[in-house]
Structure 1
Amino acid sequence: MTPTSLLAAPLEDTDTEGTVDLGLRWTPGFSALGPGFYTRLRPTPLGAPPYWVGSSEPAARLLGLPADWRSEDALQAFTGNVLPSGSQPYATVYSGHQFGVWAGQLGDGRAIMLGETDTGWEVQLKGSGPTPYSRMGDGRAVLRSSIREFLCSEAMHALGIPTTRALCVTGSDSPVRREEIETAAVVARLAPSFIRFGHFEHFAANERIDELRQLADYVIDRYYPDCRETSLFGGNAYAAFLQSVSERTAALMAQWQAVGFCHGVMNTDNMSILGLTIDYGPFQFLDGFDPRHICNHSDSAGRYAYNQQPNVAYWNLFCLAQALLPLIGDQQVAVAALESYKTVFPSEFESRMRAKLGLQQPAEGDREFVNDLLRALATEKVDWTIFWRRLSHHVGGEAESTVRDLFIDPAPIEAWLAAYAARRAGQSASAQEAAAGMLRANPKFVLRNHLGQMAIDQARQKDFSGVARLQAVLESPFEEHPGHEDLAGFPPDWASSIEISCSS
Structure 2
Amino acid sequence: MKLHSHFAGLGTTFSSPVQPQPLDNPELVSSNPVIADLLGCGSFSQEQLTRLCNGESLGDQSPVAMVYAGHQFGSWVPRLGDGRAMLLGEVQGTDGKLYDLHLKGAGLTPYSRNGDGRAVLRSTIREYLCSEAMHALGIPTTRPLCLINSSTPVYREKTETGAAMIRVAESHVRFGTFEYFSYSQQYDALQTLADYVIARHFPDWTDDADRVEKLLAQAIQSTAEMIAHWQAAGWCHGVMNTDNMSILGHTIDYGPFGFLDGFDAAHICNHSDWQGRYAFSRQPHIGHWNCTALAQALLPILPGGKEKAEQLLEDYPDHFAKKYSQLIRRKFGLEDGAEGDSALIDEIFTLMQKERTDYPLFFRRLSEGQAEDLFIDRESFQSWYKQYQQRLQQEGRDEATVRESMLAANPAYVLRNHLLQIAIDKAESGDYSEVNRLLEAIQQPFTEREEFADYLQLPPDWAEHLEISCSS
Superposition RMSD in Å: 1.2
Check whether the contact 2:3–2:88 (CA below 8 A) recurs between aligned residues.
Answer: no
List aligned pairs for 1:225-240, cutoff 5 A: 225-228=203-206, 236-240=210-214
Q: Name the SS of the counterpart of 2:292 in structure 1.
A: helix
Give the equivalent residue in structure 1 for 2:248. 274
* Alignment partner of 1:357 is 2:335: no
1:38 is aligned to 2:15: yes
- Contact 1:242 1:338 (C-alpha < 8 Å) held by counterparts: no
Post-superposition CA distance 1:119-172 (Å, at most 9, x none)? 211111111001000111000000000001100011111111110000011000
- Corresponding residue number in structure 1 for 2:446: 478
Q: What is the aligned partner in structure 1 of residue 85 from structure 2?
A: 111
Which residue does the alignment assign to 1:53?
29
1:236 shift after superposition? 2.3
1:431 is aligned to: 399
| Residue type at the aligned position of 1:411 | E
Q: Which residue identity is paired with 1:37?
A: F
Corresponding residue number in structure 2 for 1:219: 197
Matches within 5 A, 1:198-347: 198-228=176-206, 236-329=210-303, 330-347=305-322
Give, in whole Å, the separation in 2 of the partners of 1:350 and 1:361: 10
In 1, the alpha carbon distance for the partners of 2:187 and 2:451 equals 58
- Would you say how many aligned residue pairs link Structure 1 and Structure 2? 467
Does residue 456 of structure 2 align to residue 469 of structure 1?
no
Is residue 2:369 matched to residue 1:391?
Answer: no
Aligned pair in 2 of structure 1 residues 131, 32: CA closer, same or farther (>3 Å)?
same
**Cα deviations across residues 392-428 of structure 1 (Å, max 9, x unaligned)?**
011xxxxxxx311111112222121111111111113
Pair 1:74 & 2:49 matched: yes
What's the offset of the Cα at 1:371? 1.4
- Aligned pair 1:127/2:102, yes or no? no
Give unmatched runs, 5+ long, in structure 2.
none
The whole-number CA distance in structure 1 between the counterparts of 2:351 and 2:312 is: 36
Match of 1:91 in 2: 65
Kindly indicate whether the alpha-carbon contact (under 8 Å) linking 1:360 and 1:429 is maintained by their aligned counterparts in 2: no
2:371 match: secondary structure: helix
Contact 2:28 2:49 in 1 (8 A): no
Which amino acid in 2 is paired with 1:404?
Answer: E
Instruction: Show the counterpart of 1:193.
Output: 171
Q: TM-score, normalised by structure 2?
A: 0.97
How far apart, in 2, do the equivalents of 1:89 and 1:196 lie? 18
User: Is the Cα–Cα contact under 8 Å of residues 367 and 406 in structure 2 kept in the other structure?
Assistant: yes
Q: State the distance in 2 between where 1:288 and 1:74 align.
A: 39
Matched, 1:163 2:141: yes
Q: Which of 449, 467, 470 is 2:417 aligned to?
A: 449
User: Percent sequence identity over matched residues?
Assistant: 48
User: Which shows bigger deviation, 462-471 or 357-366?
Assistant: 357-366
Q: Give secondary structure in 2 for the equivalent of 1:269.
A: helix
On the 8 A contact 1:297/1:501 being kept in 2, the answer is yes
**Conserved 8 A contact 1:240-1:337:** no
The amino acid across from 2:158 in the alignment is E
List structure 1 segments (4+ residues) > 3 angstroms apart after TM superposition: 225-230
Whole-angstrom CA distance in 1 between matches of 2:63 and 2:191: 24
The 3-state SS of whatever aligns with 2:451 is coil
Q: 1:77, 1:83 within 8 Å by CA — same for their partners in 2? A: yes
Compute the displacement of 1:202 (Å).
0.1
- Displacement of 1:70 after TM fit? 2.9
CA distance in 2, matches of 1:370, 1:238: 39
User: In 1, are the aligned partners of 2:83 and 2:113 still within 8 Å (CA)?
Assistant: yes
Q: Deviations 1:176-213 (Å, cap 9, x if unpaired)?
A: 00011111100111001111000000000100000000
What amino acid is the match of 2:164? V
Could you tell me how far apart the structure 1 residues matched to 2:138 and 2:229 are? 9
SS for the counterpart of 1:194 is coil
Change (3 A) 1:465 1:71: closer
Code of the residue aligned with 2:28 in structure 1: it is W
Give how far 1:75 is off: 0.9
Shift of residue 368, structure 1, vs aligned partner: 2.1
CA distance in 1, matches of 2:207, 2:353: 46
Letter matched to residue 170 of structure 2:
P
Distance 1:73 1:360 in 2: 48
TM-superposed CA distance for 1:173, in Å, is 1.3
1:173 aligns with 2:151: yes
- Matched residues in 1 for 2:363 and 2:194: separation? 41
